[in-house]
Structure 1
């Protein structure tokens, strides 16, 4: 998810200045006991090992069944780590009926801020999405195979010449009614600071004639935003995972924001509109106009 020095081959390559210095120090946050951490990790391993079995069942299920299995599996991942998911729809009571839900046969580009490996888990716990990920993910043990099986799109970031083909592939999936998840920052930021959004994925939405669904994600412990769940700089996924497993009371707050239509937009203005919506949502210390919708993973 992060871009190491070996990848920084051109100016388009995503880069974040965030690193270990952005994380809380010492005992700044409540922790669970070592025994509870071990139990969480053992439970997570058990859930992950069910992944290939779940993937095999997808081919024999209908769309609703596949969505239920994928959503349920990602919620079990959150539950294994003791992470709760709170979902809000700011201003949902004032939305027109056609804005509240996307038609099942219409594609949507799901976009949001990116600070943690848990972002992907949270999005799929809300609604199964085909993610756009860097090509290296395909070679990660087990995770890469599961990602490929789930229909992940892989972008070769050092080779800009492959980008148009990836955009066309994503546009084709959107035309077919898929929900595609993208983090336009291109890499992880700490959440206290954010990066400028890349626009290529929005071209896919415009080409397919489908809207973007902005989702603002933030991590909270004791009702205070925290960077503790971040996956930053050159740290490994294991390091970030162990830190997350140690936290007591971690909550992911997901604000599902109104759709951004492609009509009247080019990719620059569409990206700017979606980014502004997420930035505004993250800037609210409390979602005072948000309507609680789901609470998952105790």
Structure 2
């Protein structure tokens, strides 16, 4: 059985591909680690949560089932979830919402699903991950081959269709993970789906702290592997994931294109993060 590696383990396949210089050397605890015996209890609790999720089968696609599953996974690892702003990722209106967030860790997905289950756009490789892959498929995740420019218009079209139908979609426009979450530019392609569907964009800022101090312990970057990352997280004390939702951005007809919309979203998401840590 193979274990997943983080989203930016390889150099970009083409000049337009996202890439991050972050590596496991960026990752460290900001507090003392948990004793091995307590780590073992967390591993056991997390495993039980994953097994329960798998046993739910197709029922995991139910929003409340998905929300409770995500919350139980955070609880198993003793990770506190703090939400500032609206406790909903979807904005009011007839269409779905394009939810965009900075990307630090595999925990980002679990935290956001614990706030409000929405469809995710993920790299194709996630579908083949043990345990995580089947859960992602059952939850309605859309998969994209990041190395194939030809597939991009098809994926954007599918996202736009889902938004028109009233379903919200979550993307990480940086394309790869960054240890502090503020690096890299927001790739503009996925914002075209919001423009085509006439859907609002909900910017969301994510960050992690240990006992209130900024930490990179949750980061999943470079050539890191899932087992090593889970080991760090299971050994972290006082870990909190903070989710801050911002006011929806409404594309201005005749003014906003995908470039300006991506820039507005990035300024909101990363500007808020820098204000907290700066």
TM-score scaled by length of structure 1: 0.86
- The equivalences for 1:119-158 within 5 A come to 119-158=108-147
For 1:230, the equivalent position in structure 2 comes to 219
Unaligned runs of 5+ in 2: 1-5
Report the 3-state secondary structure (helix = DSSP H, G, I; strand = E; otherwise coil) of the residue aligned with 1:50. helix
**Distance in 2 of aligned mates of 1:139 and 1:207:** 30
5+ long unaligned stretches in structure 1: 60-65, 93-98, 288-298
Q: Distance in 1 between matches of 2:163 and 2:55?
A: 27
Whole-Å Cα distance in 1 between the matches of residues 252 and 204 of structure 2? 20
Over 3 Å counting, the alpha-carbon distance change for 1:110 and 1:101 in structure 2 is closer
Deviations 1:63-98 (A, max 9, x none): xxx222111110000000000000101xx7xxxxxx
Give yes or no for contact 2:144–2:152 (8 Å, CA) kept in 1. Answer: yes
**How far apart, CA to CA, are the structure 2 residues paired with 1:101 and 1:42?**
34
What is the match of residue 172 of structure 2? 183
Q: 2:76 matched to which residue of 1?
A: 80
Q: Distance in 1 between matches of 2:59 and 2:263?
A: 39
Deviation at 1:263, TM superposition (A): 2.4
Alignment correspondent of 1:29: 31
Counterpart selection for 2:56 from 54, 75, 85: 54
Cα RMSD for the two superposed structures? 2.0
**Residue of structure 1 in register with 2:272 after alignment:** 281
The 5-angstrom pairing of residues 191-270 of structure 1 reads: 191=180, 193-264=182-253, 265-270=256-261
Moved over 4 A (4+): none
Aligned to 1:16: 20
1:56 CA drift (Å): 2.6
In structure 2, distance between residues paired with 1:123 and 1:272: 22
Q: Is the 8 A contact 1:14 1:187 kept in 2?
A: yes
Per-residue CA deviations over 1:181-235 (Å, capped at 9, x if unaligned) read 1000000001165111101110011111101111100000121111111001001
Alpha-carbon distance in structure 2 between the residues aligned to 1:200 and 1:190: 23
CA positional deviation for 1:30? 2.1
- Residue 8 of structure 2 corresponds to residue 3 of structure 1: yes
- After superposition, the C-alpha distances for 1:127-147 in whole angstroms (9 at most, x for unaligned) are 101111111111112211111
Cα displacement string for residues 245-297 of structure 1 (whole angstroms, at most 9, x for unaligned residues): 0001100111110001122311111111111001121022379xxxxxxxxxx
Q: 1:69 to 1:36 in 2, by over 3 A?
A: same
Counterpart secondary structure, 1:229: coil
Under a length normalisation based on structure 2, what TM-score does the superposition of the two structures give?
0.92
- The CA deviation string for residues 127-172 of structure 1, in whole angstroms up to 9 with x for no partner, is 1011111111111122111111111111111111111001001111
SS in 2 for 1:197: coil
- C-alpha distance in 2, partners of 1:103/1:32? 42
